[in-house]
């Protein structure tokens, strides 16, 4: 109650509104993520009190999760890494004239998941933080393997999915070796020492690749007719359990340090496709493919604050920036924070409940307005989409070389679409490559080079067993379907 009393003051409500509004804008713009936005605002907010600044930063963080949904649904360009999975079915819904329903269920799912995630942060932060401590390097290695294998297994071809995932891991090794400090796979180019940025690959595959695919398509794309902005009763029946499952998945994964909303959205999508009665609907406009990932990425934003506030361990890249901001303000996150800075913590938690309500009220009326963008002919949209891709990629590092990479990977994305290769495993591989490599090296260092460490620890062995099942079950099902009916 004291937290609500502090959060409902005019100044803090204004900061909360400004934060979620900025978060949506940041989410829409590919190339300017919440961590970059918060870093840019640090000098401006130095004179503010810590509570107001933290409310602003948190609003940017969870507000950006929905902002990335807008471009994912409307133009298939994920504004945030956590909305990559949303673009798969959300964009297909938009092409079918159901962009309003996609944005509406995303807003409702985000509100429910964000609220549940905040309640989880409030009630069960200490035990979940202890669970996160049980994950060592072998467990993180096995978690990455499970994520990549499971995502590859839900595609049209397991082999294509695995190849794409390994290609993403390989791209993530370019640049400076994180342990030794030597240059790897830079081909003598200084600009490659920073490696391949996530935003370059994502915008190229999902944005420029889509434009090139549309331009190469001889048949004109139909312009989607927008109607029924609010989800129908059938949409809600299909979405209510994905939202509930996505909320739980997102919060639990968000608690684990170094995972965050991106992995949560991938896992939620995989779970929904596995549980669906008709998995073939996914990738063709299944509303469950929007509801689950959208719920999970918002719940993960709340979950990521658990280790940061309770242990002083950032649960994601953005919370790492927020952690630095707190230290700048003289506040030290950790086990004592709930006693020494209780007013700040509970004001933050209360502001998150208020901010999620603001997002719902803001987005449901505006969903139709955003969806009206689809009434513009696609031939008019392609030039500004390309400009948006180039501007977003160039702005994140002011590098013209990144723009050339955008073109190159855009052509790769077009070829992958043309030959039905999944792009999501490649993106996930790039995102998880640093975690994968670091966890593997640390594990082998602990075991003096013995790979048995990955199966000697029960939790790690269990995750690897799940990965094996995710790989073998689809192959066994396919082999069974190909058997003659007399044998079956």
DSSP for 348-402, written as a single string: HHHHHHHHHHHHHHHHHHHHHHHHGGGGS-HHHHHHHHHHHHHHHHHHTTT-HHH
What are the pLDDT digits (tens) for 63-87? 777 777 777 777 777 766 677 788 8
Q: Radius of gyration of the chain from Cα atoms?
A: 22
Residue by residue, pLDDT tens for the chain (488 residues) are 777 787 788 888 888 888 888 887 777 665 566 766 776 676 667 677 888 888 888 888 777 777 777 777 777 777 666 777 888 888 888 888 777 788 888 888 888 888 888 888 777 765 655 565 667 888 888 877 877 787 676 556 778 888 888 898 898 888 888 778 888 888 888 888 888 877 788 778 877 777 777 666 544 444 344 456 677 788 788 888 888 888 888 888 877 755 567 778 888 888 888 888 887 888 888 888 888 888 888 888 777 777 777 766 665 667 767 777 777 777 777 666 766 777 887 888 888 888 888 888 877 776 656 555 545 566 676 787 788 778 777 876 778 888 888 889 989 988 888 887 878 788 778 877 888 888 899 999 988 888 898 888 888 888 888 888 877 876 776 677 666 655 54
Q: Rounded to whole angstroms, what are the CA distances from 90 to 85, 340, 445?
A: 9, 44, 43
Instruction: State pTM to two decimals.
Output: 0.63
Alpha helices in 256-311, H assignment, sequence order: 261-275, 288-303, 305-311
Q: Rounded to whole angstroms, what are the CA distances from 317 to 44, 160, 262, 286, 308?
A: 20, 30, 11, 30, 11
On the CB side of 244, how many CA atoms lie within 13 Å of its CA? 5
Q: Rounded to whole angstroms, what are the CA distances from 348 to 73, 309, 355, 408?
A: 30, 11, 10, 43
Phi, psi of 452 (to 5 degrees): -65, -15
The tokens of 170 are what? 């390989």
Show me where the domains of the chain are located: 2-480
Phi, psi of 204 (to 5 degrees): -65, -50
- Residue 316 is classified by DSSP as S
What are the pLDDT digits (tens) for 213-264? 766 654 444 434 445 667 778 878 888 888 888 888 888 887 775 556 777 8
- Residue 30 is classified by DSSP as T
Q: At a CB cut-off of 8 Å and minimum separation 6, what does 159 contact?
A: none
| CA 431/CA 434 separation, integer angstroms | 7
Q: What is the pLDDT of residue 30?
A: 55
């Amino acid at each position: 109650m004291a937290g609500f009393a502090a959060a409902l003051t005019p100044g803090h409500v204004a900061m909360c509104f400004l934060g979620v509004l900025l978060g949506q804008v940041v989410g829409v713009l590919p190339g300017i993520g919440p961590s970059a936005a918060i870093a840019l605002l640090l000098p401006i907010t130095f004179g503010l009190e810590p509570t107001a600044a933290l409310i602003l930063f948190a609003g940017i963080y969870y507000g950006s999760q929905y902002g990335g949904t807008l471009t994912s649904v409307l133009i298939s360009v994920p504004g945030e890494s956590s909305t990559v999975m949303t673009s798969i079915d959300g964009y297909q819904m938009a092409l079918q004239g159901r962009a309003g329903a996609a944005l509406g269920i995303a807003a409702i799912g985000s509100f429910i998941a964000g609220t549940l995630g905040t309640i989880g942060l409030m009630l069960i932060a200490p035990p979940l933080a202890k669970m996160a401590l049980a994950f060592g390097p072998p467990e993180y290695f096995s978690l990455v393997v499970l994520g990549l294998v499971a995502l590859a297994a839900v595609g049209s071809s397991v082999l294509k999915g695995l190849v794409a995932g390994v290609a993403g891991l390989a791209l993530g090794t370019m640049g400076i070796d994180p342990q030794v400090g030597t240059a790897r796979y830079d081909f003598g180019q200084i600009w490659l020492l920073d490696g391949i940025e996530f935003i370059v690959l994502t915008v190229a595959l999902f944005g420029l690749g889509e434009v090139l695919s549309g331009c190469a398509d001889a048949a004109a794309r139909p312009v989607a007719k927008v109607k029924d902005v609010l989800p129908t009763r059938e949409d809600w029946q299909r979405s209510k359990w994905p939202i509930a499952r996505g909320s739980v998945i997102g919060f639990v994964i968000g608690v684990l340090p170094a995972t965050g909303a991106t992995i949560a959205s991938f896992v939620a999508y995989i779970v929904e496709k596995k549980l669906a009665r008709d998995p073939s609907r996914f990738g063709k406009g299944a509303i469950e493919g929007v509801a689950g990932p959208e719920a999970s990425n918002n719940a993960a934003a709340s979950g990521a604050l658990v280790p940061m506030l309770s242990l002083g361990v950032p649960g994601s890249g953005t919370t790492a920036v927020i952690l630095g901001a707190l230290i700048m303000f003289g506040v030290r996150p950790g086990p004592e924070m709930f006693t020494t800075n209780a007013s700040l913590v509970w004001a933050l938690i209360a502001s998150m409940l208020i901010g999620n309500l603001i997002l719902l009220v803001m987005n449901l009326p505006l969903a139709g307005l955003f969806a009206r963008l689809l009434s513009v002919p696609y031939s008019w949209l392609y030039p500004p989409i390309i400009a948006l891709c180039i501007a977003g990629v160039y702005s994140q590092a002011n590098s013209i070389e990144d723009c050339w990479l955008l073109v190159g990977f855009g052509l790769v994305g077009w070829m992958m679409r043309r030959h039905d290769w999944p792009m999501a495993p490649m993106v996930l591989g790039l995102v998880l490559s640093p975690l994968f490599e670091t966890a593997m090296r640390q594990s082998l260092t602990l075991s003096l080079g013995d790979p048995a460490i990955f199966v000697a620890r029960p939790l790690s062995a269990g995750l690897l067993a799940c990965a094996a099942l995710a790989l073998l079950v689809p192959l066994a099902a396919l082999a069974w379907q190909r058997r003659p009916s007399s044998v079956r």
